[in-house]
Structure 1
Amino acid sequence: MAVMTACHSPAGCELLEQGYTILRGAASASLIGGVARDLEPRFAATPFCEGGFYGERTKRFGRLLIRSPLMGDLVMHQPILDLAELALGNWCERIQLNLAQAIELHPGALAQFPHRDQDMWQGSLGEVEYLVNVMWPLTGFTETNGATLIWPRSHGVAALVEQPAEPPIVAEAEPGDAIVFLGSTLHGAGANRSVVARRGIIVSYCLGWLKPYENQWLAYPPEVAKDFSADLAALAGYAQHRPNLGNFEGQCPSVLFGGYPAEPLAAVDALRPDQGALLADHIGRQRSAHSERAA
């Protein structure tokens, strides 16, 4: 695969080399249990999906940051953010939240079509990583109830090969564990051959200049996101990706946390340092030339 940022932890090395890693006991039982209780009514009310990819014996729903006050702790989990930065930091100025979705796989669910989530975007493949996924089990993930299947070393340039070199592993895990894998890694939910539903949460992070899977500004409009912490709001889209990408009237979209401005706003540069230096040089040369002409 393409060379990425050097890893500084066993989990980071495994993620880059294998395309996935599992962090055992990454979150507390109280945190996962609290999120599970908060999502229970929505699981009960949500209809089954339509279509073979999402799964006709599967339930899915998003907007998890408004469905549980504890979700922010999972989304902002620092060791996970460190892994996302490690995998994606070479290709963006900042990462963003791509998705926060709950999934319930019911008995009789077929194995999901093996896929790579990077295929949502039609960019260069085999060179750039676009996405990092994190599956948080709410119930135990087993081979019988449809635990996620992951094809090791199927990421990066290997994603250009039609047939993976080796069979998948079954990512068995318990609540509190975090199953982390790259957007170029081949994966899919297994078949649920048990008599109980298995539940999990998928949180994913992508390059800050991409269009995310979940439209964050609609999922969390300004009147909702203004109550997030500053870092969480920025991760959910209320920050510009320099230069100037994702602005509102030329300013950071967080300006809307005070309501829609009554008066026109002045557009403000939001440039990377290298761009700022080039701009300063450009303006300086013009001003020098103007001064010489004036003299």
Structure 2
Amino acid sequence: MPNVQHFPATADPAAIMAALRRDGAIIIDGLIPDAAMAALAAEIAPWLEATPNGRDDFTGHFTTRTGALVARSPRVRDLVMHPLIHALCDDLLKPFCERWQLHLTQAIRIRPGQKAQAIHRDRWAWGTHLAHVEPQLNTIWAVTDFTADNGATQLVPGSLDWPDSRVTEPHEIVPAVMKRGSVLVYTGGVFHGGGENRSTMDRIGLNLTYTLGWLRQEENQYLSCPPAIARTLDPALQAVLGYAMGSYALGYFTPPLPPGQGPEVVSPQWVLGHGDGLSGFSDSELLASITAQVRS
């Protein structure tokens, strides 16, 4: 059976990246203190409890998936912006883009009785068109302990170069066993899947993933964290959400305002109050005017 390499929170990012490029997945132990993760769990608990189970075998009939976490949880924002994870994103994704962005926020709760998820690649979110680049870096933060019995993520280390049609054999799969506060880091190309929960307790993981700035996000961050909320956040987090240009000419918009009453080409940052404003309009009035004209 292959192994998933574990690193301490103080490990050299270069050593982490070397293993990640080789195996497609690694675990960083104890990156967040246990008490901090417990506080995060309490913060997101109301939304987890209100989320229904999945709708099919892949999403899980005994699994809940709760999104919009940047808008809902200040503590999740801190994890989204963790400097070590950002350093890994720079190393893995920057060779293929000018800017990377947040791709998905999802609290995944695997309940007792949930069967193992089909082994897959996350880059299949874009079909099978991106085998020539690495499109994403994924993290699953352990909100509870991950064990072999409670649904720990199943990994196939070393599967990065496999063809998409390759069928995984049982002896090639290893569970991502880790303690609360640890984080599994894996690429879009490694084969993996949610594990079977044979225990009597929920397994909760926080799936925060990042992707190239020129790709469409799996979770639409402009709707999950709309401008009215995004404008209250730190500018660096706003940019990670996607409220920034993906490259020189990627992601601009034209405010659909009356003739002469607004700029013609602006960055997404403009809607959050950055850059030249619209004379005679406050930010709230501007948003109300745009919304009313779009609806009409």
- Shorter-chain TM band: 0.7 to 0.9
The normalised TM-score by structure 2 is 0.82
Distance in 2 (alpha carbons) for counterparts of 1:200 and 1:160: 26
Per-residue deviation at 1:89? 1.2
State the Cα distance separating 1:141 from its structure 2 match: 0.4
User: Which of 250, 269, 272 does residue 254 from structure 1 map onto?
Assistant: 269
Q: 2:240 is matched with which residue: 228, 235, 244?
A: 235
Correspondence for 1:30: 35
5 Å-filtered alignment, 1:95-174, equals: 95-122=100-127, 124-155=129-160, 157-160=161-164, 162-164=166-168, 167-174=172-179
Q: Which runs of 4+ in 1 moved over 4 A?
A: 259-264
Question: Unmatched 5+ residue regions in structure 1?
Answer: 1-6, 265-295
With 187-196 and 123-132 compared, the bigger mean Cα shift is at: 123-132
Structure 2 counterpart SS, 1:9: helix
Aligned length, in residue pairs:
257
Partner of 1:215: 220
- 2:211 corresponds in structure 1 to 206
Between Structure 1 and Structure 2, whose CA radius of gyration is higher?
Answer: 1
Q: CA deviation at 1:8?
A: 5.7
The residue identity in structure 2 corresponding to 1:251 is V
Any idea what SS the aligned residue of 2:215 has?
A: coil
- Preserved contact between residue 159 and residue 185 of structure 1 (Cα < 8 Å): no
The residue aligned with 1:291 is none
Partners of 1:222 and 1:254 within 8 A in 2: no
Counterpart code for 2:50: A
Local SS of the residue matching 1:121: strand
| Displacement of 1:122 | 3.5
Amino acid at match of 1:109: Q
In the aligned structure 2, how far is the partner of 1:201 from the partner of 1:98?
13
How far apart in 1 are the matches of 2:209 and 2:70? Answer: 13
Cα contact 2:53–2:62 (8 A) shared by 1: yes
Say if 1:187 and 1:123 are closer, same or farther in 2 by CA, change over 3 A. Answer: closer
Cα 1:221–1:140 shift into 2, 3 Å: same
Unaligned runs of 5+ in 2: 1-11, 255-264, 281-296
Q: Is the 8 A contact 2:135 2:188 kept in 1?
A: yes
Sequence identity, in percent? Answer: 35
Residue 159 (structure 1) shift:
4.0
- Displacement after TM superposition at 1:242 (Å): 1.2
| SS in structure 2 of the partner of residue 136 of structure 1 | strand
Deviations 1:194-234 (Å, cap 9, x if unpaired)? 01111110000000000000000001111110111111000
**What is the deviation of 1:17?**
0.6
Q: Distance in 2 between matches of 1:185 and 1:41?
A: 32
| Structure 1 contact 108–191 (Cα < 8 Å) conserved | yes
* 1:121-177 Cα shifts (integer Å, max 9, x gaps): 14644320011110001110000001000101111x324461358611110011111
- Quote the RMSD (CA, aligned, Å): 2.0
Could you tell me how far apart the structure 1 residues matched to 2:224 and 2:136 are? 19
Partner of 2:180: 175
